[in-house]
Amino acid sequence: MDQVKFYLDEKDMPKKWYNIAADLPTPMLPPLTPDGQIVRPEMLEAVFPKNLIEQEMSTKRWIDIPEEVRQIFYRWRPSPLRRAVYLEKFLNTPAKIFYKDESVSPAGSHKTNSSVPQAWYNKQFGIKRLTTETGAGQWGTALSFACHIIGLECKVFMVRVSFDQKPMRKTMMGLWGAECIASPSNETRAGRDILAEMPDTPGSLGIAISEAVEAAVTDKTGRTRYALGSVLNHVLLHQTIIGLEAQKQLKKAGIKKPDIVIGCAGGGSNFAGIAFPFTLDKINGAKIEIIPVESAGCPKMTKGLFAYDHGDVAGMTPLLPMHTLGSQFIPPAIHAGGLRYHGMAPLVSQAIVEGLMTPRAVDQLSSYEAAIIWARTEGFVIAPETSNAVACVIDEAKKAKREGKEKVILFNLSGHGLLDLAGYDKYLNGKLENSKVPHDEIARSLAKVQKTYAAASRKTGKW
């Protein structure tokens, strides 16, 4: 029987992160203010510490991972590369399916790869407290863990629908001393405004971001900042440790390069983590198919616009160049809470525009079907977000069988689903549906984006 698990020694863990901004064929479009001016670093200083703003704007190819951050990572990193031999056998496919297992972190997902350095850089800068949003709860849990280990306070605004679906997430954050409240809340102006208009809203990441940013910038001590779990350049940068480890481990497995790289994509960070190091290989000539997988319930990459839009509902963030369904769009209450975000990270969006990656959408029932196949072959319970990637992996493995090709498929298992069993329960009892794609709402929301975009563009005569 072929080897299943490929480990890497702690001493071989990458010492640098990879910054794809250095290598994209055309330079990145800058973030803009609502009146179309390029955002200057100092404009972000109420929100982020200076050292992270520098990282956000950096075009340096390799950026050092601080030694203290590495020592915290050793709890779970390097994470295992595994081969899904049991799934391969079940599918009777000639494809070889490898995956990075990011579920092994303390918080149960890849999110700790960025929460730890973000907390660390904030601490270095003298910050005492972080605020953040969380969808499914993975990011909030990861930041709670990191803040406890590094010595910061932490406050998490959790999207209402996930807060209700996954009550144990709050307990887990509390284990690390963090405070978690449902969003929209009455604690912020943004939250109160939304509640006045839509008292029964399931909430959205866009709303929770508005609340968390507001809570940070209105703190009178000046020692509170905001942390984001995806979308931004520095977050994607931190996640590249996944793909960099995978490259070393594939070598150990005797694989020169994967043919296909797959990751689910909510804001883009777990996908970028596995994909960017291989995107560099692709830019350098390697033939690799790279697939970000979104939920059909929130299809920004396959049905959205590439345009300047806000990262949040209240318009507190700069305008970012991205695939978006409109910052006002509130996605249906799919169980993959981490995929319920209206936009896609600018770095991923631009790589799509450049033709380096080809997005795909998966509907909710197909994702659960894939998750069940996974649990019944590989044996592990995966997060509903991850299930979307697995559905795509299974499709590609079947295609390889039809074509009779021994393709190497690599994907990122972003997290376990042990706190998401309520969704499995509904699926197993036939109570789950495909969320209907809300075409009309998307169209209305995109019309608004175009107006914002046109306004910014009129003011500057550019973009």
Contacting residues toward a copy of itself, per CB under 8 A: 1, 3-5, 7, 9-10, 71, 74-76, 86, 104, 106, 108, 145, 148-149, 168, 171-172, 174-177, 372, 375-376, 378-381, 416, 418-419, 421-422, 424-425, 428
CB atoms within 10 A of CB 422: 14
Token pair 């984006």 is found at: 449
| Shortest reach from residue 53's CB to a copy of itself, in Å | 28
Closest listed residue to residue 425, CA positions, set 417, 414, 434, 436: 417
Q: Tokens representing 279?
A: 């995107």
Q: Which is nearer to a copy of itself, 112 or 204 (CB)?
A: 112
Tell me the C-alpha distance between 263 and 100, whole Å: 10
| Shortest reach from residue 82's CB to a copy of itself, in Å | 9
| Shortest reach from residue 25's CB to a copy of itself, in Å | 39
Q: Which is nearer to a copy of itself, 17 or 176 (CB)?
A: 176
Q: Which is nearer to a copy of itself, 7 or 403 (CB)?
A: 7
Q: Are 157 and 312 in contact (CB under 8 A)?
A: no
| Shortest reach from residue 400's CB to a copy of itself, in Å | 23
Q: Tokens representing 220?
A: 């009178």
Q: What's the Cα-to-Cα distance from 276 to each of 144, 162, 177, 258, rounded to whole Å?
A: 27, 29, 34, 13
Q: Which is nearer to a copy of itself, 101 or 312 (CB)?
A: 101
| Shortest reach from residue 284's CB to a copy of itself, in Å | 32
Q: Which is nearer to a copy of itself, 60 or 75 (CB)?
A: 75
- Please, what is the end-to-end C-alpha distance for the chain in angstroms? 56
Q: Which is nearer to a copy of itself, 265 or 381 (CB)?
A: 381
Tell me the C-alpha distance between 167 and 180, whole Å: 10
Q: What's the Cα-to-Cα distance from 249 to each of 27, 254, 292, 322, rounded to whole Å?
A: 31, 9, 22, 32
Q: Which is nearer to a copy of itself, 176 or 276 (CB)?
A: 176
| Shortest reach from residue 4's CB to a copy of itself, in Å | 4
Q: Are 293 and 361 in contact (CB under 8 A)?
A: yes
| Shortest reach from residue 81's CB to a copy of itself, in Å | 12
